[in-house]
Structure 1
Amino acid sequence: MKRVNENRVVGLATVALLLGAPILFFTAVEVSTEAKSWEGVPMRAAHVDHKDPFKREFNTGQEVTPALPGMP
Protein backbone atom coordinates (compact mmCIF):
# COMPACT_ATOMS: atom_id res chain seq x y z
CA MET A 1 0.00 0.00 0.00
CA LYS A 2 2.91 2.33 0.69
CA ARG A 3 4.18 2.04 -2.91
CA VAL A 4 0.82 3.15 -4.32
CA ASN A 5 0.83 6.32 -2.21
CA GLU A 6 4.33 7.18 -3.39
CA ASN A 7 3.25 6.85 -7.02
CA ARG A 8 0.27 9.11 -6.38
CA VAL A 9 2.48 11.78 -4.84
CA VAL A 10 4.90 11.64 -7.78
CA GLY A 11 1.99 11.74 -10.23
CA LEU A 12 0.35 14.70 -8.51
CA ALA A 13 3.66 16.57 -8.42
CA THR A 14 4.20 15.89 -12.13
CA VAL A 15 0.71 17.07 -13.05
CA ALA A 16 1.13 20.20 -10.90
CA LEU A 17 4.43 20.95 -12.63
CA LEU A 18 3.03 20.36 -16.11
CA LEU A 19 0.04 22.61 -15.43
CA GLY A 20 1.84 25.21 -13.35
CA ALA A 21 4.85 25.87 -15.56
CA PRO A 22 2.91 27.23 -18.57
CA ILE A 23 0.63 29.24 -16.31
CA LEU A 24 3.60 30.88 -14.61
CA PHE A 25 5.37 31.37 -17.95
CA PHE A 26 2.46 33.13 -19.66
CA THR A 27 1.28 35.17 -16.69
CA ALA A 28 4.70 36.37 -15.54
CA VAL A 29 5.13 40.13 -15.33
CA GLU A 30 7.05 41.39 -18.33
CA VAL A 31 9.25 44.44 -18.40
CA SER A 32 7.86 46.72 -21.07
CA THR A 33 10.44 47.68 -23.66
CA GLU A 34 7.91 49.58 -25.75
CA ALA A 35 8.50 52.86 -23.94
CA LYS A 36 12.26 52.50 -24.24
CA SER A 37 12.16 51.72 -27.95
CA TRP A 38 10.48 55.07 -28.72
CA GLU A 39 12.93 57.24 -26.74
CA GLY A 40 15.10 58.28 -29.70
CA VAL A 41 12.27 58.67 -32.20
CA PRO A 42 10.90 62.18 -32.69
CA MET A 43 7.18 62.35 -32.05
CA ARG A 44 6.55 64.38 -35.19
CA ALA A 45 8.28 63.99 -38.52
CA ALA A 46 10.17 66.92 -39.93
CA HIS A 47 8.39 68.84 -42.68
CA VAL A 48 9.56 68.10 -46.20
CA ASP A 49 9.23 70.96 -48.63
CA HIS A 50 7.60 69.68 -51.80
CA LYS A 51 7.34 73.09 -53.41
CA ASP A 52 9.20 73.39 -56.69
CA PRO A 53 11.02 70.04 -56.78
CA PHE A 54 12.17 70.88 -60.32
CA LYS A 55 13.61 74.10 -61.67
CA ARG A 56 11.70 73.97 -64.96
CA GLU A 57 8.37 72.77 -66.34
CA PHE A 58 7.96 69.67 -68.46
CA ASN A 59 5.72 69.23 -71.46
CA THR A 60 5.83 65.43 -71.80
CA GLY A 61 6.42 62.44 -69.57
CA GLN A 62 9.58 61.60 -71.47
CA GLU A 63 11.12 64.85 -70.25
CA VAL A 64 10.24 64.10 -66.63
CA THR A 65 11.89 60.67 -66.40
CA PRO A 66 15.52 61.77 -66.92
CA ALA A 67 15.03 64.62 -64.44
CA LEU A 68 14.04 62.27 -61.59
CA PRO A 69 16.75 61.62 -58.98
CA GLY A 70 18.49 58.33 -59.50
CA MET A 71 17.36 57.95 -63.09
CA PRO A 72 19.87 57.88 -65.98
Structure 2
Amino acid sequence: MSDPTRDQPKEGPLNPALKSTTETVYDTKHPSPPPIDTTSAREGEGEGWPIAWLIVTVAGVALAIYLMS
Protein backbone atom coordinates (compact mmCIF):
# COMPACT_ATOMS: atom_id res chain seq x y z
CA MET A 1 0.00 0.00 0.00
CA SER A 2 1.00 3.66 -0.03
CA ASP A 3 2.97 5.36 2.73
CA PRO A 4 0.81 8.09 4.44
CA THR A 5 3.86 10.04 5.64
CA ARG A 6 5.07 10.51 2.08
CA ASP A 7 2.22 12.92 1.18
CA GLN A 8 2.68 15.18 4.23
CA PRO A 9 4.68 18.39 3.67
CA LYS A 10 8.04 18.72 5.37
CA GLU A 11 8.60 21.51 7.89
CA GLY A 12 10.66 24.37 6.54
CA PRO A 13 10.48 27.65 4.66
CA LEU A 14 8.75 27.77 1.31
CA ASN A 15 11.75 29.40 -0.32
CA PRO A 16 15.08 28.73 1.43
CA ALA A 17 16.68 31.65 -0.44
CA LEU A 18 14.42 34.08 1.43
CA LYS A 19 15.40 32.76 4.85
CA SER A 20 16.72 35.52 7.11
CA THR A 21 20.32 34.88 8.05
CA THR A 22 21.19 38.02 10.02
CA GLU A 23 19.44 40.02 12.67
CA THR A 24 19.78 43.80 12.56
CA VAL A 25 19.76 45.75 15.80
CA TYR A 26 19.71 49.54 15.68
CA ASP A 27 21.49 51.66 18.24
CA THR A 28 18.85 53.63 20.12
CA LYS A 29 21.20 55.19 22.70
CA HIS A 30 22.75 57.75 20.31
CA PRO A 31 20.26 60.09 18.60
CA SER A 32 20.75 61.13 15.00
CA PRO A 33 20.16 64.70 13.77
CA PRO A 34 16.75 65.54 12.31
CA PRO A 35 16.60 65.38 8.48
CA ILE A 36 15.98 69.13 8.20
CA ASP A 37 19.39 69.76 9.79
CA THR A 38 21.21 67.65 7.19
CA THR A 39 19.78 69.28 4.05
CA SER A 40 21.89 71.47 1.80
CA ALA A 41 19.29 73.69 0.12
CA ARG A 42 20.02 77.39 -0.04
CA GLU A 43 17.67 80.35 -0.05
CA GLY A 44 15.94 80.74 -3.41
CA GLU A 45 17.19 77.42 -4.79
CA GLY A 46 14.60 75.69 -6.97
CA GLU A 47 12.29 78.68 -7.37
CA GLY A 48 12.53 78.52 -11.18
CA TRP A 49 10.93 75.10 -11.51
CA PRO A 50 7.30 76.30 -11.55
CA ILE A 51 8.10 78.59 -14.48
CA ALA A 52 9.90 75.78 -16.31
CA TRP A 53 6.89 73.47 -15.85
CA LEU A 54 4.55 76.23 -17.01
CA ILE A 55 6.57 76.68 -20.22
CA VAL A 56 6.67 72.93 -20.86
CA THR A 57 2.90 72.63 -20.23
CA VAL A 58 2.05 75.52 -22.53
CA ALA A 59 4.32 74.12 -25.25
CA GLY A 60 2.75 70.67 -24.87
CA VAL A 61 -0.81 72.03 -25.08
CA ALA A 62 0.11 74.15 -28.11
CA LEU A 63 1.67 71.13 -29.82
CA ALA A 64 -1.39 68.99 -29.05
CA ILE A 65 -3.74 71.64 -30.47
CA TYR A 66 -1.56 71.97 -33.57
CA LEU A 67 -1.51 68.20 -34.16
CA MET A 68 -5.28 67.86 -33.59
CA SER A 69 -6.16 70.51 -36.18
TM-score by length of structure 1 reads 0.30
Look at both structures and tell me which one has the larger radius of gyration over its CA atoms.
1
